[in-house]
């Protein structure tokens, strides 16, 4: 079952390169949160029931509800519809994202042959997820898209933590939650302030004109 969920999760990464609609990126984050919720549910072996419940609630409520709500609100307030003039053509984005996923499956194959004490497929997909988030930040211009790329990286880090440390400590999960919320809230403030100074269609290229 976990393998099926991981394959669906990898498809969600590919979907990030198939659209430039910003609200679709946020919906993708919701889908990823739901998938991670079930992966955690089926994969977690923590003896402390309270820790397991907290991690499941953190995944579903914060990743799947609260963070998307904040992002959707920023998108609406700033009237952001789609990514304007991406740094790479659509076909090239799809190709590069496919290569990232292939790289993850190559890692899966290598781990499956040499290491037996971790879920090799989950490890490979988590690496691909981190790279996919970095890729999204590099090839997109909108600040809100960069925030979403950061969230994708965090999802990959969370998956990696579940792979390497099956008994994820409560303190680690709490730290991840606070990190997410602070990052999203600060990004929302930044986006709103920049909108008052620059046209929303200009993206991060406007920042290159800043001078002392």
The answer to the question of residue 115 being in a domain is yes
The answer to the question of residue 204 being in a domain is no
**Residue 201: what pLDDT?**
47
Q: Judging by beta carbons within 10 Å of its beta carbon (0-12, 13-18, 19+), is residue 178 exposed, middle or buried? A: exposed
Model confidence, pTM: 0.79
100 is written with which tokens? 């990232």
Chain Cα centroid distance, residue 88: 20
Block residue for tokens 């989950």: 122
What CA–CA distance (Å, rounded) separates 139 from 203?
Answer: 12
The answer to the question of residue 137 being in a domain is yes
Provide the number of structural domains found in the chain. 1
**Residue 99: what pLDDT?**
92
The answer to the question of residue 155 being in a domain is yes
**Residue 72: what pLDDT?**
86
Q: Which domain holds residue 123?
A: 2-194
**Residue 197: what pLDDT?**
45
The answer to the question of residue 64 being in a domain is yes
**Residue 28: what pLDDT?**
92
The answer to the question of residue 212 being in a domain is no
* Mean pLDDT, the chain cut into blocks of 10 residues (212 residues total): 88 86 88 89 68 79 84 80 67 88 85 70 88 87 81 85 64 60 62 51 50 50
The answer to the question of residue 46 being in a domain is yes
**Residue 131: what pLDDT?**
92
Which residues in 76-97 are b (16+ Cβ under 10 Å) and which e?
Answer: eebebeebbebeeeeeebeebb
**Residue 156: what pLDDT?**
87
The answer to the question of residue 211 being in a domain is no
């Amino acid at each position: 079952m976990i393998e099926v969920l991981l394959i669906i999760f990898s498809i969600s990464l590919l979907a990030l390169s198939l659209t430039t609609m910003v609200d679709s990126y946020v919906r993708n984050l919701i889908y990823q949160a739901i998938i991670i919720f079930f992966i955690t549910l089926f994969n977690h072996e923590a003896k402390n029931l309270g820790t397991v419940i907290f991690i499941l609630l953190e995944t579903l409520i914060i990743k799947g509800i609260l963070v998307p709500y904040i992002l959707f609100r920023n998108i609406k307030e700033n009237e952001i519809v789609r990514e304007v003039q991406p740094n790479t053509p659509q076909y090239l984005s799809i190709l590069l994202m496919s290569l990232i996923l292939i790289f993850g499956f190559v890692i899966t194959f290598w781990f499956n042959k040499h290491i037996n004490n971790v879920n090799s497929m989950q490890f490979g997909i988590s690496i691909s997820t981190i790279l996919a988030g970095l890729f999204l930040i590099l090839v997109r211009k909108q600040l809100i898209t960069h925030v979403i790329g950061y969230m994708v990286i965090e999802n990959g880090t969370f998956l990696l933590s579940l792979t390497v440390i099956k008994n994820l400590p409560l303190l680690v999960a709490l730290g991840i939650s606070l990190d997410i919320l602070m990052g999203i809230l600060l990004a929302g403030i930044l986006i709103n302030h920049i909108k008052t100074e620059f046209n929303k269609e200009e993206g991060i290229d406007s920042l290159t004109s800043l001078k002392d």
